[in-house]
Structure 1
């Protein structure tokens, strides 16, 4: 994980001891063969390669930590974007549901308005039909009264006509009498004058009757106009009341819609407050996580600084020990040089022994350094693993807390949505029940309206048939009356003709008979005393 794919340098072991080297660049203090300066052989820069390897490991670790921090920041930004997207989707879903509910409420209100308008139209139609029915009944009653009056007048005229016929017959009989002709002429003159006066009176009375009839029809027309105006006034008042009730219903609906919108705004405000609280809580958690991460990073940096200081201290002590060893070796070399100067003897065995001692000492120092580096690497690896474990635990805890918070939020939202859905279903069931009742009422009203229309149509049809039958009966009756009148007139004319012929025959017979004396003349020729003869004799 840390360090990348770097391989540590390999330590090259020597297969043979290092040969004795001579310093050919600088002069020595002793003769040739004495140890002066030992150059480094090939493939002996292991500590330099190890130092470079450690530096590369630290750089790779720093690069890995920076990449991990960048990845965590990217994941955090993606998570914030996902939360923002989910919040926007949730808000859009809430707005769409609210819009759908408002549209459904507007549709139900529009349906109620349509039903209310239909009911008002039906009531107005029923009122108009009732008014027309009442007017028709009034017209029928007036027609019946007029028919009864016409029949009464007809009976009176028939009686008057019969009286006139009888009078004419008597007058004809009187007119046929020659003795009464002067009297009749005189009487006829008087009668003609009286008749003219009577005709003038009848004409005046007829004019008055016509005037009265015209006045009656005028009054009837005025009453009908007043009734029509009253009906229009009532219709206008009823229409105004209906419009007022409709406006009140609309105002109530608008107030209900405003209350519903206020409730929706309140719910949306509560949702926004909840979202703001949730954002604030998430931000506090992120700040706390960043703060804890910063504290942990500061703690790790402090530990690393302490370890670096400890390494520097170890390096300083090691350098001090190496310097002391070099000083000691220099002193030993100087002492040896002094001893060699004194002894003036150079032996290869002493040099080899000193070189072996130096090599062994260097080897021990190298082993100590490797052991210290191994321990330091183990400590660093253990500390790195501990830091990684803590980071993984913190990330797991943070992820678990976020998931738990998201689950709680989603559960709360699901519960709210379930409650709102249940409430919407209950409202929908109530609306469906109300719509079913309204539909049943409308169907009942439609059936009653259809039955009323059917009965009314049947009544109109029956009335038309009755009126047609009555008209036909009246026509037939008038025809029969005309035929009866013609027949009676013909019979009267025939009777008068027979009577006239009979009178003419009698007159002709009496005119031809000279011995015939008219009864009136007999009466005139009799003595003036009307007493009978036997009565006169008894008195004597």
Structure 2
């Protein structure tokens, strides 16, 4: 009578007509009642709610499938992008390795070339210094030998002259031989004067020849020095040109490398822009699709809500109409009963109260059902909003992840550029270090040359000191030799005195010749004549 239980029936779902109040015989004569809803007669509403719930579950599963498909598509696109970036990174690493190997090979070649140049330069300097030292030593040895030969020859001539002078001196002291000796001396003096003139002329000619020889030697040395300096300048110029060519090649290689890097960076930038535009288009399309689906779902939901509201309004109108009819019937029946039977007033009031209570229970049940329906709609709306928020969060997370990847790629590019700048700075520092080492090497070689020159000057000074000491020693020896010669001269004088005395006693002619006559006899000229002695 009050509506039945809430279990779903298993019977047919055909919609039945709403029950109508009809007059039926009552237990109490003159009273009315109406037929209540039979149990399990709301199966159509429950089936309609079940279909709505099933459609909502299907749409939710479809939305989850679409989201999973979009997520898988984004992950596939991200994996492709990651693989492409890894491939680009591997290619860039291999190119960097090749460039590093090339730089190492270039550095090794530079070191070898530098060592070869330094060794050749050291050998050249050593050879030049050795040749100069040998030339100086050979000239010094030759001059010493010539000086010794001339000195020995002069000493021999001097001894002969001294010996002959001693004999002539003792002979000149002899008064008996004075007239013939005077005549002889006059003739020999004239011959000696002529011979002195010739000797002076020969000495001047020898001095001129020596001066010419020294001038020629100095000119040769100057020419050789100028040739060496010119050759050094030419070699230095050639080395500078070779070094400039090497630098130009290096600069050209760096420019080509820089252009290639810029080209690769530009291609990467274009590709990243295209990828970013494509991802942006995909995101916009996905957002548009989601917005369209959300609008469609919202439209469907609004239609469902509108249909539900229409259904509720219709039900409410029917219930209001039914309530009005019941109220009118109740009022008519009450009036009829008041007019007909006044004794049963209390029973009629009780039945009217029961009827009103029943109407109140029906109203409360209707409100409870509306409240449950509103709660279900609110729950469904919250679930949809939660899914939409979750999808938005996933999209934002994908955007942030893509932005992080882009920023990481940009950071890698900046690190690569920084590394290239550091490598260029290191290369420049290495070139500066090479130049500094070359300058230091030149300074050391110059210092070595200065040291060798100073050593040669010191050696020359030591040689002069040794020569002075040797000259002092020779002078001391000459003094001793002079003493010895004086002693021998005294003995020879005694011997010559005996010879002169014997010559005076025996009137013997001397066959000895003056040394000047020996020299004069060697020349074929008009002044040569035979001495009467």
What's the TM-score bracket when you normalise by the shorter of the two chains? 0.5 to 0.7
Q: Deviations over 1:367-410 (max 9, x none)?
A: 23433542x23642563465267447746875897799799999
Give distance in 2, aligned partners of 1:226 and 1:490: 56
Equivalent residue in structure 2 for 1:367, among 365, 384, 398: 365
**Structure 2 unaligned residues grouped into runs of 5+:** 1-84, 428-433, 510-533
SS in 2 for 1:198: helix
Structure-to-structure mapping, 1:293-332, within 5 angstroms: 293-325=290-322, 328-329=325-326, 332=329
Contact 1:175 1:181 in 2 (8 A): yes
Structure 1 position 199 matched with structure 2 position 199: no
More displaced stretch, 111-120 vs 182-191: 111-120
Equivalent residue in structure 1 for 2:227, among 226, 230, 238: 230
SS in 1 for 2:140: helix
Equivalent residue in structure 1 for 2:212, among 200, 211, 215: 215
Please report the TM-score for the alignment, with normalisation by the length of structure 2: 0.55
In structure 2, the partner of 1:14 is none
More displaced stretch, 162-171 vs 224-233: 162-171
Give distance in 2, aligned partners of 1:368 and 1:323: 12
Residue 330 (structure 1) shift: 6.7
Structure-to-structure mapping, 1:240-255, within 5 angstroms: 240-255=237-252
CA RMSD after TM alignment: 5.7
Q: Deviations over 1:479-517 (max 9, x none)?
A: 43564355335523552365347746986xx7xxxxxx9
Equivalent residue in structure 1 for 2:284, among 282, 287, 301: 287
Give distance in 2, aligned partners of 1:226 and 1:232: 10
In structure 2, the partner of 1:239 is 236
SS in 1 for 2:124: helix
**Structure 1 unaligned residues grouped into runs of 5+:** 1-89, 432-437, 511-516, 521-540
Distance 1:466 1:174, change over 3 A: closer
Structure 1 position 187 matched with structure 2 position 184: yes
Contact 2:171 2:177 in 1 (8 A): yes
SS in 2 for 1:217: helix
Give distance in 2, aligned partners of 1:519 and 1:281: 144
Aligned residues: 386
In structure 2, the partner of 1:513 is none
Equivalent residue in structure 1 for 2:355, among 354, 357, 370: 357
Give distance in 2, aligned partners of 1:272 and 1:372: 60
Contact 1:120 1:242 in 2 (8 A): no
Q: Deviations over 1:41-82 (max 9, x none)?
A: xxxxxxxxxxxxxxxxxxxxxxxxxxxxxxxxxxxxxxxxxx
More displaced stretch, 485-494 vs 301-310: 485-494
Q: Deviations over 1:267-304 (max 9, x none)?
A: 54455456545544553454344334313421332133
More displaced stretch, 230-239 vs 463-472: 463-472
Give distance in 2, aligned partners of 1:187 and 1:466: 49
In structure 1, the partner of 2:148 is 151
Q: Deviations over 1:464-483 (max 9, x none)?
A: 99998787667645643564
Give distance in 1, aligned partners of 2:318 and 2:131: 136
Q: Deviations over 1:388-440 (max 9, x none)?
A: 674477468758977997999999999x99xx9xx99xx9xxx9xxxxxx9xx
Give distance in 2, aligned partners of 1:348 and 1:293: 68
Please report the TM-score for the alignment, with normalisation by the length of structure 1: 0.54
Distance 1:274 1:301, change over 3 A: same
Residue 241 (structure 1) shift: 2.0
Give distance in 2, aligned partners of 1:248 and 1:116: 14
Residue 239 (structure 1) shift: 1.5
In structure 1, the partner of 2:380 is 383
Distance 1:479 1:114, change over 3 A: farther
Give distance in 1, aligned partners of 2:401 and 2:466: 94
Higher relative contact order (CA 8 A, sep 6+): 2
Give distance in 2, aligned partners of 1:489 and 1:123: 63
Distance 1:203 1:482, change over 3 A: farther
Contact 2:172 2:178 in 1 (8 A): yes
More displaced stretch, 194-203 vs 484-493: 484-493
Residue 317 (structure 1) shift: 0.6
Residue 211 (structure 1) shift: 1.7
In structure 2, the partner of 1:11 is none
Residue 313 (structure 1) shift: 0.5
In structure 1, the partner of 2:69 is none
